[in-house]
Amino acid sequence: MPSSGRTHRPAVGAGHGRGPGVHRVADREGSSPHLSYDPAADAAARYPDWVICSVDLGGVIPEVLSRSRRVILLERDHPPAQRRSSLAHALAHLDLGHAETPSGWFEQREEVEAEDLAARRLIPLPALARALAWSREPDEVARELGVDDAMLTLRQSRMATDERRRLRRMLARSDRATWVNR
């Protein structure tokens, strides 16, 4: 499967996370109570010594992860849903134990693994079923789930056969419930 194009470079320079306009995402526990997975709360709970900041990355890459500096930088000009997806993706790399190559990039296999884990965390089947029961328009479904369009597309395209069956059953129940409640 093709990658969503997410790339990672090591953080450079000292003092990231200290400049104006930069906030510590990890300090905002519970910032998305209506969403099933909150990567900011997850980072605060499991990586409290990491600095997670929104900075100008030039709009080219969504996030930068540096294990040695314990820093995750997110592109500040990206919409909140994309930053949420990017943070979940970076945390997936940490949780999967991925290490940068000497060039500073992750291997393609590791990118795919991190994308899959982030997508499953951000979009569990029951949440996807609820969103699809509300709308079948991809941009509306993504907005309802608090993810970017790329993350939704990735989740749907990599869904296993048994997940597709379960999703169809959930949607069928939802359609029946909607019909009965009219």
Mean pLDDT of the chain: 80
Examine residue 10 and state whether it is found in any structural domain, yes or no: no
The closest of 88, 80, 161 to 120, measured between CA atoms, is 88
19 assigned to some structural domain: no
**Hey, CA dihedral for 28, 119, 149, 8, is it positive or negative?**
positive
Residue 20 lies in a domain: no
Helix (H, G, I), strand (E, B) or coil at 156: helix
* Residue 165 is assigned to a structural domain of this protein: yes
Residue 50's SS3 state is coil
Residue 37: inside a domain: yes
Determine, yes or no, domain membership for 113: yes
Q: Examine residue 12 and state whether it is found in any structural domain, yes or no.
A: no
Domain count, the chain: 1
User: Can you give the pLDDT at residue 35?
Assistant: 73
- Condensed to tens digits (0 to 9), the pLDDT of residues 24-81 reads 333 333 434 457 899 999 999 999 999 999 999 998 889 999 888 999 999 999 999 9
pLDDT digits (tens, 9 = 90+) for 136-169: 999 999 999 999 999 999 999 999 999 999 999 9
Q: What is the pLDDT of residue 6?
A: 47
What is the extent of the structural domain holding 159?
Answer: 25-180
Residue 15 resides in a domain: no
pLDDT at 174 over 70: yes
- pLDDT above 60 for 127: yes
Q: What is the pLDDT of residue 101?
A: 66
pTM for the full model?
0.75
